[in-house]
Amino acid sequence: MTLHTRPLHQLDAWQAAEALARRDIQSLDLVRACLDRIGERDAEIHAFVELNADAALALARTLDAGPVRGLLHGLPFGVKDLLDTADLPTAYGSPIYAGQQPLADAAAVALCREAGAVLLGKTVSTELANMHPSVTRNPHNLQHTPGGSSSGSAAAVADGMLPLALGTQTAGSLIRPAAFCGIVGYKPSHNRVSRAGVKSLSETLDTIGGFGRSVRDVALLGAVLTGDTRLADPRNFDASASSAPRIGLCATPDWSLADEDTQQAWAQAEKALAGFAQPVTLPAELQGLVARQKAVQTFETARSLRHEHRHHAQRLSAPLLALLEDGMRISGETHAQNLQAVAQQRHVANELFRDLDVLLAPSAIGEAPAGLTTTGDPLFCRGWTLLGLPCIHLPFARGRTGLPVGLQLVGRFADDHRLLAAAHWVHERLTR
């Protein structure tokens, strides 16, 4: 079954949501189309750890027979295996928790279900949402990483297995996989989405967000997760009603580490946004963000995973063990000083938006690296995560080997609705 000649599993989430609300298509048909795609492709991509096929089909039939329940009515979605689900095991990407069955949904999962979404399955997370690679492959080239730690969610959306999927970010685990897989990834402002029912790594950094194939997709998801309907306001996506945002071009202090692919995407964006954007240099007070983010994450992760370290060290990867040991060597006094500095830096960052609406910045060093022994470097995401600012990756270019490349937009804290409106405007121009 097609809509406007496109197979159902290729529809953007917002397109499918509108068609479902009008009853132009049936949830049952959309769920079947996604399950068929999973059956065709997941043996190669390995995006899922658990499927919920029978329950999903049954719920889709019920939704088709009843009233429209909410913004996500009838839409299939996937959940990173870091978030609890009452009807599917949650293992956090670790053999330590294999087969664990939570008693309740994580808050983000419950909100999606309440809005009418249909859970198709749990998507692969790297080991305890850290850097050790998972089995998931990049759908654009199976010999390349999809990024991490939200590996399965990004790969599933990119390959048409799902229109929407939940993920998390502590360093770059939403933006980087979105960049490598060529889709839109949205990290809300810190604490805009409840983290109840999610395996904790860092209270200061952990953020729940998601993936879609367009800005409107993640705006729909964001409105449900935050309860802020401004995120999905149709006027944000109406060219006749929206005005040009004030854009700052922020290459960041680490620009010298960006490779040729990111540099070319940057040049393309500068040309497309000429007249609407101006260069911005981060103030001296915002130097050292990457190093501080690493220190905060390492300290807090070492303590969040203290049980696993003490009682299951033999079931942890060598890189994760090394990180946990490093974290325990950081003193509480040093961490307190880092937190004080973060609070000050977040205040300084807010001032960046006095005369700007958004910042354009690199998402990743370049294309997804070849091989499956790394998930790539989250270098260009760490600082924005530390500052707690909302971010969205916009895919629009290709690198030297044909893999996706893009850039991210960063907004003022808690101004997620303005970020998403600006992102739609910018993305329209970058993809012309």
Q: Which uninterrupted H or E stretch holds 397?
A: strand 391-398
DSSP per position, 201-233: S-TTT-EEEEEESSHHHHHHHHHHHH--GGGG-
Domain count, the chain: 1
* 72 occurs within a structural domain: yes
Global confidence as pTM: 0.98
* 271 occurs within a structural domain: no
Judge whether residue 1 has pLDDT over 50: no
Question: What tokens does 365 get?
Answer: 């060093």
User: For residue 150, which of 108, 117, 191 has the smallest C-alpha distance?
Assistant: 108
Distances (CA, A) of 26 to 21, 66, 213, 236: 9, 11, 20, 27
pLDDT digits 0-9 by tens, 251-308: 999 999 999 999 999 999 999 999 999 999 999 999 999 999 999 999 999 999 999 9
In terms of residue numbers, what domain contains 168? Answer: 12-237
CA dihedral 211, 214, 219, 224 (to 10 degrees): -50
* 4 occurs within a structural domain: no
CATH number at residue 36: 3.90.1300.10
Q: What is the DSSP letter of 391?
A: E
Question: What tokens does 422 get?
Answer: 């600006």
pLDDT digits 0-9 by tens, 163-210: 999 999 999 999 999 999 999 999 999 999 999 999 999 999 999 999
Cα 249 to Cα 327: distance, rounded to the nearest angstrom: 34
* 43 occurs within a structural domain: yes
Judge whether residue 140 has pLDDT over 80: yes
Q: What is the DSSP letter of 405?
A: E
CB 202 within 8 A of CB 300: yes
pLDDT digits 0-9 by tens, 51-93: 999 999 999 999 999 999 999 999 999 999 999 999 999 999 9
* 307 occurs within a structural domain: no
**pLDDT for position 240:** 75
Cα 359 to Cα 380: distance, rounded to the nearest angstrom: 13
CB 184 within 8 A of CB 190: no
**pLDDT for position 242:** 73
* 146 occurs within a structural domain: yes
pLDDT band at 4 (very low <50, low <70, confident <90, very high): low
* 303 occurs within a structural domain: no
Cα 109 to Cα 328: distance, rounded to the nearest angstrom: 32
Judge whether residue 404 has pLDDT over 60: yes
Helices (H), 229-388: 260-272, 289-304, 306-311, 318-328, 332-351, 379-387
Report the catalytic residues.
Answer: 80, 149, 173
* 222 occurs within a structural domain: yes
